[in-house]
Amino acid sequence: MPAPVNLFKAALRENRFQLGLWVALASPYAAEVVSGSGYDWLLIDGEHAPNDIPLLAAQFRAVAASASHAMVRLPVGDTVLIKQILDTGVQTLLIPMVESVEQAQQLVRATRYPPHGVRGVGAGLGRASQFGRIADYLQTAGEEICLILQIESRAGLDALDEIAALDGVDGLFIGPSDLAADMGYLGQPGHPDVRAAIADAFARIRKAGKASGIMTLDLEQARDYRALGADFMAIGTDVTSLVRATTALRQDFLGQAAPTLKKTESGY
């Protein structure tokens, strides 16, 4: 029996747009609630949310029971963390702050078993192989891993073509907020210069035959990114959705106008 099919990776290969949402409340119960909302994928955030490996794994399992695909963003592209999270059963990773082809090559190797990589061969202890019950897991796991690398700096953009050309890199995800800050436009992810850089990045990613992703809280901006060619995109977070809904409920009762989220907060 082979490793489970990664439906998100299959969708990207078939050029089917995938709509997602950020999960940052660091709660399996909250992740399960969100997983019933109909999104194609959910990003469980280990970079800016207070998560560790056991908590990420618990949220992954909560989402896995739904039709939404669970992607995990680790806080950093560390080989040990990648080994641990893959053994929990996670198949799609988003790694932040990738800035060189050498860094990208090491990340690919971290997701593959020897002789093609450095992933530790301890599958029998992990949930990923159903604790050794998937007999062909070692031979088939790599094909179902989906590695998404986050480009969010000028250095990353400079290395984008080399990174996108690597086998084992399935997609590149542009981080508008950090990119804007690195370009000198802190808090302005919608600045025309930032948009132009994103449009150029999407075109280069598409030319390389890889999938391009992005995240924004601004729906007008999201539609623009989709028109620019985004293949997968998150359009909100559980945190901001909770803030908006609870604030609006109180203000509706009091007859007050609900606040709007600042566009400076629209990219993660």
Residues tagged active-site:
48
What distance in Å separates the CA atoms of residue 31 and residue 35, rounded to the nearest whole number? 6
**Distance of alpha carbon 58 from alpha carbon 72, whole angstroms:** 12
**Rounded to whole angstroms, how far apart are CA atoms 50 and 150?**
20
Rounded CA separation 213/206 (Å): 11
How much helix, strand and coil, in percent to the nearest 5, is found in the chain?
45, 15, 40
Estimate the crossing angle of helix 79-87 against helix 53-64, to 10 degrees. 40
Question: Which residues have a Cβ under 8 Å from the Cβ of 117 and sit 6 or more positions away?
Answer: 108, 109, 110, 111, 142
Q: Can you tell me the distance from the alpha carbon of 114 to that of 56, in angstroms, rounded to the nearest whole number? A: 26
